[in-house]
Amino acid sequence: MIRTCGLSKSFGAKRVLDSVDLSVATGESLCVIGQSGTGKSVLLKCILGLERPDAGQVLWNGQPLDRARFMARFGMLFQGAALFDSLSVWQNVAFRLRQRMDDRRARAIALDKLARVGLASDIADLMPAQLSGGMAKRVGLARAIADDPAVIFFDEPTTGLDPIRARAIDALIRGIVTETGATAITITHDMASCRIIGDRVALLADGRIAHDGPVADMDRAPALAGFLGIPSAGAGDHAR
Amino acid sequence: MTPIRAIGRPALRATRTIGAVALFAMRGLSGFGTPRMILRQVMQIGWLSLPVVGLTALFTGAALALQIHSGGERFQAGDVVPAIVAIGMVRELGPVLGGLMVAARVASSIAAEIGTMRVTEQIDALVTLSTDPVRWLVTPRLWAAILCMPVLVATGDIIGIMGGWLVGTTSLGFNSASYIANSWAYLEPWDVTSGLIKGAVFGLVVALSGCWFGMRSGRGAAGVGRATTNAVVAAAVGILAANFALTGLFFE
């Protein structure tokens, strides 16, 4: 289980996270939603240790998170995929694997993961600049799952994709999370994604958790109705 | 209190920055990187800088020969052209101009590359893949620049002296054999060695500026552009300041 306790972060006078308490059970898929600029990505970066919180801590299975050990157990899909420009597709996917095994084995695993995300092996030697946005996202996903992580983070996985490709990525993520039993934390403002990927949804507003509940109850939650911009809860599916 | 504060604040800020850069450099130099990573940077920093360093040295050596000849003629010392060109190139102009040309080409490209990686979250991705960005990005560049610059300086020295010889023998009436003999006659090993040491220090200054500003690049194209400009300016000023300090240290 991952748990944040009183996580706070400010940039100058702007308080982005205000004592955020959130927990994700092992094997659970949590979606964190919120309007742009409400600190969703900052929350994710604080959990990952990419940003240092001003206050609060992150616990993993009840213990303060040891980042050196934790980093080896999780995968991350970045908003823009964040593939390394100077490495080929398979080298990107096998980046961590190559630190502890020879290139032949690492490449074989990378090709397997590329197949898992629906990419043919003939793109393995292409460079990231030669990929479309959707393909780059899939390669990023393959890199996130390359080392069979226990926890996977997804930062806006469908941003910049058309609805058809976005739903395909959602389905892929859901399939991988279910199949591997990994814990998943997804940052998104795409409600359709949330319905497919998440077991639970948390709304971040004004730096605090304004709602936390099952995805199945999303349409009946007043706080989410406000976020969706609908006059009252249960007024229908207003995704996207 | 106000004037003291006005001086104190920038002084403290400057001290903090110098300390942070020193720690950054020490972290970068504490490893070495894989041979493949170093070789890639050697190609980028060293091999691809050869044409610009060579051309700069050629024209500088040629212009220096013309200047010394015309100036020396005023007091019947036109014969010193070969020796002065050689000493001037090897001690001063080879390292400094080579360093400035590499600063323009390499500090900007390092800052732009690393800055773009920061903006596109590739540096965050390195951290999440259990890789220290300093070891991965900074270390190979620092060592490659330190190793390449003395070679570039030595090449520039030879080409610069050749530029002087070309002008001396074609326009100034020098005999080819005596020009070469005079170039060597007054050159001491320390003249060459000090220039090469300067080159290594300038290499460090150039790569460090590029890496430092690249790693601290702001968001977007404007942020990367600012980082690139700052890296080139800092590298150029750093080279001239280091040159003054090293010249004082070596020759006073």
Interface test with A, best of B39, B114, B128, B132 (most A CBs within 10 A): B128
- Give the pLDDT confidence score for residue A192 in this predicted structure: 85
CA B209, CA A74: separation in Å to the nearest integer? 33
Confidence of residue A227 (pLDDT cuts 50, 70, 90): low
Of A76, A83, A99, the CB nearest to B128: A76
| B107 HSE (CA, 13 A, CB side) | 30
Q: Do B127 and A50 touch (CB under 8 A)?
A: yes
| Domain-embedded: residue B9 | no
| Domain-embedded: residue B1 | no
| Domain-embedded: residue B211 | yes
- Give the pLDDT confidence score for residue B84 in this predicted structure: 92
- Give the pLDDT confidence score for residue B39 in this predicted structure: 93
Nearest residue on chain A to B130, alpha-carbon basis? A71
| Domain-embedded: residue B84 | yes
What are residue A10's DSSP bridge partners?
Answer: A15
Q: Which of B110, B109, B93, B205 is nearest to B159 (CA)?
A: B93
| Domain-embedded: residue B65 | yes
| Domain-embedded: residue B79 | yes
Residue A237 has pLDDT above 80, yes or no: no
What DSSP designation does B231 have? H
Interface test with B, best of A52, A69, A85 (most B CBs within 10 A): A85
- Give the pLDDT confidence score for residue A160 in this predicted structure: 79
- Give the pLDDT confidence score for residue B35 in this predicted structure: 87
- Integer CA distances (angstroms), A161 to A157, A170, A184, B139, in order: 9, 11, 21, 36
- Name the H helices within chain A: 40-48, 67-71, 89-93, 103-116, 133-145, 163-180, 191-197, 222-228
Task: Copy the structure tokens of residue B211.
Answer: 């890496």
Task: Give per-residue pLDDT as tens, B27-64.
Answer: 999 987 788 889 999 999 999 999 999 999 999 999 99
- Give the pLDDT confidence score for residue A234 in this predicted structure: 42
Residue A11 has pLDDT above 80, yes or no: yes
Number of domains forming the structure of chain B? 1
A83–chain B nearest CA distance, Å: 7
- Give the pLDDT confidence score for residue A217 in this predicted structure: 83
Q: Which letter, b or e, does each residue of B95-133 get, where b requires 16 or more Cβ atoms within 10 Å of its Cβ? A: bbbbbbbbbbbbbbbbbbbbbbbbbbbbbbbbbbbbbeb
Q: In B, what residues contact A, Cβ < 8 A?
A: 116-117, 120-122, 124-125, 127-131
Of B117, B121, B130, the CB nearest to A71: B130
| Domain-embedded: residue B71 | yes
Average confidence (pLDDT) over B195-212: 97
Task: Give per-residue pLDDT as tens, A87-119.
Answer: 999 999 999 999 889 999 999 999 999 998 888
ipTM of this model? 0.85
Long-range contacts of B192-197 (CB under 8 A, 24+ apart): B192/B90, B192/B154, B192/B157, B194/B91, B194/B246, B194/B250, B194/B251, B195/B90, B195/B91, B195/B92, B195/B94, B195/B95, B195/B153, B195/B157, B196/B95, B196/B150, B196/B153, B196/B154, B197/B150, B197/B246, B197/B250
Residue B80 has pLDDT above 70, yes or no: yes
Task: Give per-residue pLDDT as tens, A183-206.
Answer: 999 998 888 888 899 999 999 888
CA B40, CA A87: separation in Å to the nearest integer? 12
Which amino acid, one-letter code, is at B226? R
Chain B partners within 8 Å of A76 (Cβ): 125, 128
Q: Is the dihedral of CA A122, A124, A128, A134 positive or negative?
A: positive
B231–chain A nearest CA distance, Å: 22
Residue A233 has pLDDT above 70, yes or no: no
Average confidence (pLDDT) over A196-219: 88
Contact A8, A20 (CB under 8 A): yes
Contact A33, A211 (CB under 8 A): no
Residue A32 has pLDDT above 70, yes or no: yes
Residue B244 has pLDDT above 90, yes or no: yes
Confidence of residue B209 (pLDDT cuts 50, 70, 90): very high
Residue B109 has pLDDT above 50, yes or no: yes
Looking at chain A, the whole-number percentage of residues with pLDDT higher than 70 is 94
Contact B205, B239 (CB under 8 A): yes
| Domain-embedded: residue B8 | no
Per the structure, the complete domain to which residue B44 belongs is given by: 31-251
Instruction: Please provide the DSSP assignment of B66-125 as one string.
Output: HHHHHHHGGGT-GGGHHHHHHHHIIIIIHHHHHHHHHIIIIIHHHHHHHHHHHHTTHHHH
Residue A236 has pLDDT above 70, yes or no: no
CA A4, CA A59: separation in Å to the nearest integer? 6
Task: Give per-residue pLDDT as tens, B149-179.
Answer: 999 999 999 999 999 999 999 999 899 999 9
CB-based contacts of A123, cutoff 8 Å, min separation 6: A89, A114, A131, A135, A139
CA A28, CA A45: separation in Å to the nearest integer? 19
Q: Which letter, b or e, does each residue of A107-135 get, where b requires 16 or more Cβ atoms within 10 Å of its Cβ? A: bebbbebbebbebeeebbeeebeebeebb
